[in-house]
Amino acid sequence: MRDMFNAALKDAIKAGDKRRVATLRLITAAVKDRDIAARSEGKDAVSDQEILQILAKMIKQRRESATTYEEAGRLELAAQEREELEIIESFMPKQLGEDETRAACQQIIADLNAGGLKDMGKCMGALKEKYAGQMDFSQASKAVKDLLS
């Protein structure tokens, strides 16, 4: 994934796309920060799986910021956040739809033989491991809670 970010950054610089350049630099900085933190803990560089988690966190932050800016009447800043959001999302795997998410939740519950809400954490952990970057986990959490109730 790192090579993909670097290639995209070079292309954006050549194209003169300032928003894309800035966003890609934010992504690479976030990955480097996580690499440094991992090295200080004696671990190797972060995996692609962890990079997907970083991107998911950035997406969530951009959505929240855009909503906040819209509520405050700062539409130009909200538009900027949405542009960054689209750029970051372009590096994520295809997102599962609502029906696919529910089906994945049902499958995990069946695989783990989950019997009640006490197993929700175990189910969510398995979903995050198997579907990192592919689903909205707040939506998945609601589905798991409904299915376990």
User: Rounded to 5 degrees, what are φ and ψ at 17?
Assistant: -85, 95
* % of residues, the chain, pLDDT over 70: 100
* 48 shares its domain with 107: no
What would the pLDDT profile of 20-60 be if each residue is shown by its tens digit?
Answer: 999 999 999 999 999 998 888 888 888 888 888 899 899 98
* 69 shares its domain with 116: no
Angle 36-53-68 from CA coordinates, rounded to 5°: 105
pLDDT confidence of residue 68: 96
| Mean pLDDT rounded to a whole number for the chain | 89
Rounded to an integer, the average pLDDT of 104-110 is 89
Q: How confident is the model at residue 147 (pLDDT cuts 50, 70, 90)?
A: confident
Q: How confident is the model at residue 75 (pLDDT cuts 50, 70, 90)?
A: very high
pLDDT confidence of residue 62: 94
- Where residue 102 sits, what CATH number does that domain have? 1.10.10.410
- Where residue 60 sits, what CATH number does that domain have? 1.10.1510.10
pLDDT confidence of residue 96: 83
Nearest to 127 by CA among 99, 145, 113, 107: 107
Q: Highest mean pLDDT range out of 14-23, 33-42, 98-107?
A: 14-23
Structure tokens at 74: 């700062």
More confident residue, 59 or 135: 59
Domain carrying residue 65: 2-89
Task: Output DSSP code: residue 47.
Answer: P
The domain total for the chain is 2
Rounded to an integer, the average pLDDT of 121-139 is 84
pLDDT confidence of residue 43: 83
pLDDT confidence of residue 15: 95
* 12 shares its domain with 40: yes
Structure tokens at 103: 């089906």
What would the pLDDT profile of 109-118 be if each residue is shown by its tens digit?
Answer: 888 888 888 8
